[in-house]
Copies of this chain bind each other. A is one copy, B any other.
Amino acid sequence: KTSFKIAVLPGDGIGPEVVNESTKILNAIGEAFNYTFEFTYGLMGAEAIFKTGNPLPEETLQICKESDAVLFGAIGDPSFDNNPDAKVRPEQGLLKLRKELGLFANIRPLKTYASLIDKSPLKREVIEGTDIQIFRELVSGIYFGEKFTDEEAGYAYDICKYNRDEIAPIVHMAFQEAQKRRKKLTLIDKANVLDTSRLWRKVCKEIAQEYPDVELDFMFVDNAAMQLILNPKQFDVIVTENMFGDIISDEASVIGGSIGLLPSASIGNENALFEPIHGSYPQAKGKGIANPVASVLSTAMMLDYLELDQAAEKLRQSVEYAIENKYVTVDLNADQYYSTSEVGSFIADYI
């Protein structure tokens, strides 16, 4: 297969700017390797609400379902965040998309770049050599459980629910990844308090039988939040439920020194979506200062997923070349920096 249908959802804030660099670079890869990437654009998020009233229009969902992969920018807008009464929210679009496409595993690789290691708030000796892969369950748990607010009575609730079938697939995936790596898997949970965590622990223990070469251990989420900073090198592969994964993986992003570098892949049985970890960063919108690298490395994960291994390799090399040669945005070097599109073009040209 040499021709691919890519759904492109630029989303909100700096989303459109960074995604634009990804498509530019995919075109360069297409030329270099003789692939065709056909882009179909869809509305999502605040942008989609403003134009259609719906954070995930039916048309966008169709485009995604018919594509080989989805490239996504970012979502979120302050006009909704500060309004607790808004009934329709950008985030609902992303959550619904994840659910509809069955993207049960959010995968976030975390490494340090030699030339950027001193940008981290953490000391060099603490982080140097860190190499973690986080698997966050993405379509269940409290973000998807029943929610309810009774304005009159003045209460609200959110239900966190898991069943075995929602836990097992991502646990298998994480064990398999651990087998290819340092053979260590850590489940992060709060099994001393929560029933859902105890179910996770149980399912993990059972599945561990099938992967006797992988060492499985358990860590409470409060302790994990500490250990990730005290000694990140102790981790190899991490697997966890949706909300803990949200918190822990954003926290872990500080290790590399810039959230502007971190990609993620959200994988399901039939679909996959690739997005930077950073949010919509509305303050930077339209200024040309956003770092496109997270989106570009998410694109490299997409190439892995499409089994275009050489192209993925080439793309990662090009990104490293740009970073090593300080062809970077202002977040990485305030003394001499380039715009979002200059960095993207530099990488595209190098390819």
* Count of identical protomers in the assembly: 2
What are 20 of the A-B contact pairs (CB < 8 Å)? A81-B192, A81-B218, A81-B220, A84-B201, A91-B192, A121-B122, A121-B230, A143-B194, A148-B195, A153-B163, A154-B164, A154-B165, A155-B163, A156-B162, A157-B196, A158-B195, A158-B196, A190-B246, A226-B253, A229-B254
Query: In the complex, A202→B86 CA distance in Å?
Result: 12
Minimal beta-carbon separation of A27 from chain B (angstroms)? 33
Instruction: Among B82, B90, B218, point to the contact of A82 (Cβ < 8 A).
Output: B218
Q: Judge whether A155 and B147 touch: CB under 8 Å.
A: no
Contacts of A201 in B (CB 8 A): 84
Q: Is A161 an interface residue (CB 8 A)?
A: yes
Q: Is A312 an interface residue (CB 8 A)?
A: no
Q: Is A89 an interface residue (CB 8 A)?
A: yes
Q: Is A279 an interface residue (CB 8 A)?
A: yes
Minimal beta-carbon separation of A128 from chain B (angstroms)? 12
Q: Which residues of A82-98 are within 8 A (CB) of B?
A: 82, 84, 89-91, 95
Q: Which residues of A151-200 are within 8 A (CB) of B?
A: 153-165, 190-196, 198-199
Q: Judge whether A251 and B225 touch: CB under 8 Å.
A: yes
Instruction: Among B153, B190, B199, B249, point to the contact of A149 (Cβ < 8 A).
Output: B199
Q: Judge whether A230 and B254 touch: CB under 8 Å.
A: yes
Contacts of A95 in B (CB 8 A): 193
Q: Beta-carbon contacts of A211-251 to B below 8 Å, as 1s and 0s?
A: 00000001011110110011100000000000100111111
- Chain B: CB-nearest residue to A243: B190
Query: In the complex, A91→B247 CA distance in Å?
Result: 23
- Chain B: CB-nearest residue to A165: B154
Query: In the complex, A223→B194 CA distance in Å?
Result: 24
Query: In the complex, A90→B220 CA distance in Å?
Result: 15
Q: Beta-carbon contacts of A105-149 to B below 8 Å, as 1s and 0s?
A: 000000000000000011100100000000000000011010111
| 18 new A-B contacts at CB < 8 Å, known A84-B201, A143-B193, A229-B229 | A76-B192, A81-B220, A84-B191, A84-B199, A91-B192, A121-B123, A122-B122, A122-B123, A154-B199, A155-B161, A156-B162, A156-B163, A221-B246, A221-B247, A222-B246, A225-B247, A225-B251, A226-B259
